[in-house]
Structure 1
Amino acid sequence: MLYFLLCVGILVLGYFTYGVFVEKIFGIQPDRKTPCWTKEDGVDYINMPTWKVFFIQLLDIAGLGPIFGPILGALYGPQALLWIVIGSIFAGGVHDYFSGMLSVRSGGKSIPEVVGDEMGQFARQTLRVFSVILLLLVGVVFILGPAKLLSSMTGFNVQLLVALIFVYYFVATILPIDKIIGRLYPIFGALLLFMTIGITFGLIYHGYEFLPNMDISTNVHPGDLPLFPLLFITLSCGALSGFHSTQSPLMARCMRNEKNGRVVFYGAMIAEGIIGLVWATAGMSFYDSPEALNAVIAAQSPAGVVNQVSTELLGVFGGFLAVLGVVILPITSGDTAFRSTRLILAETLRLDQTKINKRLVIAIPLFVVAFAISLVDFNIIWRYFGWSNQTLSMLVLWSAAIWLGRKGKLHWIATVPAVFMTAVDTAFILQAKIGFNLPADISNIVAVIVAAISLIAFLILVRPTGDVSEEAEPAE
């Protein structure tokens, strides 16, 4: 249990130390007006209190990722917890902070525009297509997943539940962000906290040994899958996830002051890391061995693990609430995935979103496409999600590094994780069966070479421009 508590403590400490360090390097301007003041439109740019913005950000980025990913990561043993802690503090927190704060500084732009501003027009156009496809896949999966879980809990017809979730997503996508999302998310946040704290105390109350296998020198994965690069692709949400960068601009449009960025963006990532620690620990502590955990995952998916662990530790009612939390989590990411897609398309088409008819022009075709995708088997496409997600995180980190380098600031806080993820993404696509299926030794060597070349190119090409400050506008 000491190892688990130490990991939680380091995450909290990381927020108050490295988070502050990152904030200072970025250089917040508390007197500068944020987009909710300069572009307030009553729809997407709305002034909201910090506590509400934090909860919305947390639920936006959470989804099933910090639960399912850590459960799958638990198959690798305690190394998964190390990645959650190191990743959240030095990679995920930096990624989320800069994706949010660069959006704030650019007037609330979506992530393709933020990346394009730093990496050029080709990157902008690529990320526009990339992000829309990624968000559509997330949105559709976060319709089907919750519908199947709700069906197993209630016995209701899956297609009926799919239809109801579709209707909710559509309404949440076109209405002002404070009408549904702003009102429901604090309640959902309380449920998420109950689930996380309840599982932790349930393990203690029932006498489970925390992390019985503490051998970090051995890969205990039942399928003998390599730790590198698979752990860093599998366990994304909870450590580092490109999906977060598509969500951060939503709250960049609602945050009152730049000084709140560390709480909203870096803080939400740390909170998600703690959620990831709880579920990775539950996976390693509730079951006797990785093989036993893997058997449940193979038979019922990670959802079966959630159901079994929650019911056993919290009883029937507590288990129901915990599983309900797992249903709500993807829904709270699914609705904002579609909302983000609408805004990315609006920016691309330069279509104002103040009037509802302009929102419908984008939302109706968007949901028609999403419905069509939900009717086909897109498992092959979805297999690329993990790699696509971490490739996006890599690009965002490189964009942050370029921004810092051009400002003459300490770019290494973004450069180091960007180089690491370049190696991870390259190694994965080279050795994966859905990629080039090369031997691991060869792909890993090539990945290191590609990462090294990327770093050298960055150091040669990116130079300070002399513009180390931006004109500040007083906040109201």
Structure 2
Amino acid sequence: MYTFLAGIALLIIGYFTYGKFIEKLFGVKQERATPAYVNADGVDYIPMSTAKNSFIQLLNIAGTGPVFGPIMGALYGPAAFIWIVVGCIFAGAVHDYLTGMISIRNRGAHLPELASKFLGKVMKHIVNAFAVLLLLLVGTVFVSTPASLLHLLTDGSVAVWIFIAAIFVYYIVATLLPVDKIIGRLYPYFGALLLLSALGVGVGLVVTGAPIPELSLQNFHPDHAPIFPLLFFTITCGALSGFHATQTPIISRTTKKEKEGRKIFYGMMIAEGIIAMIWAAAAMSMFDGYQGLSDILAAGGPGAIVSESSTVLLGAIGGTLAVLGVIVLPITSGDTAFRSARMIIADYLKIAQKKLSSRLWIALPLFAISVVLTQIDFNILWRYFSWANQATAVIALFVGAMYLYIAKKNYFVSLIPGTFMLVMVIAYILSQQIGFGLPMNVAWAGGVIGTIILLVLFFKAAKKARANNVPLEEDISNWDSAA
């Protein structure tokens, strides 16, 4: 219990200390106009309040990641708590803040545009394809998981395909309508439900004195579980997730002032870390040890853990509300995944999005592909999503490092977590069956050598960019209306 409570306390302290440090390092310009006003188009560029933007950002980035990921990560024991806390404060929240703020300084640009500007034009095409693939996988996964949870909630009386169809209909509407019509109006309520359900489970764990494992040298992780690199791909959204880099530009286009960035981008990542801590603790403590947890996961997946934990701790009514809060997570990330994909493709092809027809012909093919992907086994989709997700996080962290390097600021705050994760990404794809299936020692060697090569290329490009005075932000006077 002490490890769990200390972890949550550290996350909160991290927001007020390291978050403030990152904000000061970046250098907020309170007087600078934001894309929400300069590029206002009534569809994607619309000024909204800090509270609305914060809740929308939380729901956009959350998905099932801070719930399902930590539940599966609980099999690694208290080591999961370390990754959530350290990863969230020093990697995930930095990743989200820098991505959001750099986007604000550059017309609300998505990651492919930022990668093109700061890492080279070739990267625009690579990251564009990578980001759209990632968003399609996310959107598809976040159709299947809430449909399965709703199927469980109705005791199997309603077929899964009916929920899948209903969710797709919602996604189409939410993707096409202006951001303030559905997302801006409903998400604050969904956000409140999410936070209340997670806090309810957390308070229940404390009140009931749940036997949450403590961190110690003897109890670091059970049965010598292979933490490196698997833990960092099992727990993603609760610590570090590249998916967030595809979501923050949605809110960078609706943020009124740069000063709001720490609350919206850094702060909501911290909130997600707290949610991850709660669900990891619940999974570790409520199922008669790691073997019991493993058995339930094998039988019913993370959804079964959510349902049983919520009901035991909060009763029938409270448990149902908690499950609904978890169901909201993937749905409210799935719709914005498709929305982001539409926006990225529109930016890539330079197609204005004010007309409904322009949005429609981009979005409908995405949904058609996603329907086909729902036929693929969920576990296979999730493995590819996990790798693509963390690879995207590496790209976003290197974009942040390049920005700070050109600005002659402390770029190590982004480069260090980016470098660490790059080693993991290369080693993972080299060692796993979804990749090359090489022996682990060969994969580690490849990870280190590959990272060194890419770091040399990074510094070579960084020195050239600084010498050429690559502009860190776009001149507002040159911005045209996105209409």
Provide TM-score, normalisation by structure 1: 0.95
Measured against aligned partners, the alpha-carbon deviations of 1:147-198 in whole angstroms (never above 9, x if no partner) come to 1211221221222211111111100001111110111111111111111111
Give CA-to-partner distance per residue, 1:42-67, whole Å, 9 cap, x none.
Answer: 11000000010000000000010000
| Structure 2 residue aligned with 1:195 | 197
Aligned letter for 1:232? F
Taking the aligned partners of 1:206 and 1:380, their CA distance within structure 2 comes to: 37
What is the identity, as a one-letter code, of the residue corresponding to 1:322?
Answer: A
Q: Distance in 1 between matches of 2:3 and 2:219?
A: 17
Cα distance change on mapping 1:469 and 1:205 into 2, 3 Å: closer
Which amino acid is the alignment partner of residue 199 of structure 1? V
Deviations 1:215-263 (A, max 9, x none): 34556446x5411111011111110000000000000000001111111
The aligned counterpart of 1:12 is: 12
Aligned letter for 1:252?
S
Deviation (angstroms), 1:335: 0.5
What is aligned with 1:403? 403
Residue of structure 2 equivalent to 1:137: 137
Amino acid at match of 2:215: M
Name the structure 2 match of 1:327: 327
Which residue in 2 is equivalent to 1:52? 52
Matched to 1:88, the amino acid is C
Task: After TM superposition, list the pairs within 5 Å mapping 1:136-285 onto structure 2.
Answer: 136-154=136-154, 155-211=157-213, 213-216=214-217, 220-221=221-222, 225-285=225-285
- What is residue 394 of structure 2 aligned with on the other side? 394
**Distance in 2 (alpha carbons) for counterparts of 1:372 and 1:422:** 31
Q: Is the 8 A contact 1:94 1:266 kept in 2?
A: yes
Within a 5 Å distance, the mapping from 1:37-48 to structure 2 comes to 37-48=37-48
Aligned equivalents of 1:285, 1:369: Cα separation in 2: 40
Q: 8 Å contact 1:77–1:216 — kept in the other structure? A: no
Which one-letter code corresponds to 2:293 in the other structure? L
CA contact (8 A) 1:220 1:290 kept: no
Amino acid at match of 1:204: V
Measure the CA separation in 2 of the matches of 1:344 and 1:470. 19
Distance 1:21 1:237, change over 3 A: same
Closer, same or farther in 2 for the Cα pair 1:408/1:377, shift >3 Å? Answer: same
Q: Which amino acid letter does the alignment assign opposite residue 214 of structure 1?
A: L
Judge conservation of contact 2:106–2:473 (CA < 8 Å) in 1.
Answer: no
Q: Give the match's secondary structure for 1:336.
A: helix
Which residue identity is paired with 1:439?
Answer: P
Q: Is the 8 A contact 2:74 2:281 kept in 1?
A: yes
Once the two structures are TM-superposed, the CA of residue 119 in structure 1 deviates from its matched residue by 1.1
1:220–1:13 distance in 2 versus 1, CA, 3 Å? closer
1:12 Cα deviation from its structure 2 partner: 0.9
Q: Helix, strand or coil: the match of 1:254?
A: coil
Q: Which moved more, 1:441-450 or 1:126-135?
A: 441-450
Distance apart, 1:306 and its partner CA: 0.7
2:109 is equivalent to residue 109 of structure 1: yes
C-alpha contact 1:430 1:438 (8 A) present in aligned 2:
yes
- Mapped to 1, the partners of 2:274 and 2:380 lie a distance apart of 31
Question: Normalising by the residue count of structure 2, what TM-score does the alignment of the two structures yield?
Answer: 0.94
1:458 aligns with 2:458: yes
5+ long unaligned stretches in structure 1: none
Distance 2:130 2:392 in 1: 8
| In structure 1, C-alpha distance between the alignment counterparts of 2:317 and 2:473, rounded to whole Å | 54
Indicate whether 1:448 and 2:457 are aligned.
no
Structure 2: runs of 5+ lacking an equivalent: 478-483
Amino acid at match of 1:197: L
Return closer, same or farther for 1:340/1:438 CA change in 2, 3 Å cut-off: same
> Are the counterparts in 2 of residues 31 and 473 from structure 1 also a CA contact under 8 Å?
no
8 Å CA contact 2:141–2:381 kept in 1: the answer is: no
Contact residue 58 and residue 269 of structure 2 kept, 8 A: yes
Query: Is the Cα–Cα contact under 8 Å of residues 78 and 221 in structure 2 kept in the other structure?
Result: no
2:100, 2:151 → 1: CA distance?
Answer: 36
Larger mean Cα displacement after TM superposition, 368-377 or 49-58:
368-377
CA contact (8 A) 1:390 1:421 kept: yes
Contact 1:115 1:395 in 2 (8 A): yes
Give the secondary structure class of the aligned counterpart of 1:200.
helix
8 Å CA contact 1:407–1:468 kept in 2: the answer is no
CA distance in 2, matches of 1:283, 1:260: 34
Determine the structure 1 residue equivalent to 2:32.
32
Give the letter aligned to residue 242 of structure 1.
G
Write the mapping of 1:77-96 to structure 2, written as runs, cut at 5 A: 77-96=77-96
RMSD (CA atoms):
1.8
The 2-side partners of 1:272 and 1:120 are apart by: 32
Give the AA of the match of 1:75: L
1:145 positional shift? 1.3
> SS state of the match for residue 462, structure 1?
helix
- Give 1:110 deviation, angstroms: 1.3
- State the AA in 1 paired with 2:277: L
Give the superposition deviation at 1:8: 1.0
Percent sequence identity is 49
Distance 2:262 2:411 in 1: 18
Q: How many angstroms does 1:73 deviate by?
A: 1.0
Greater Cα offset, 24-33 or 364-373: 364-373
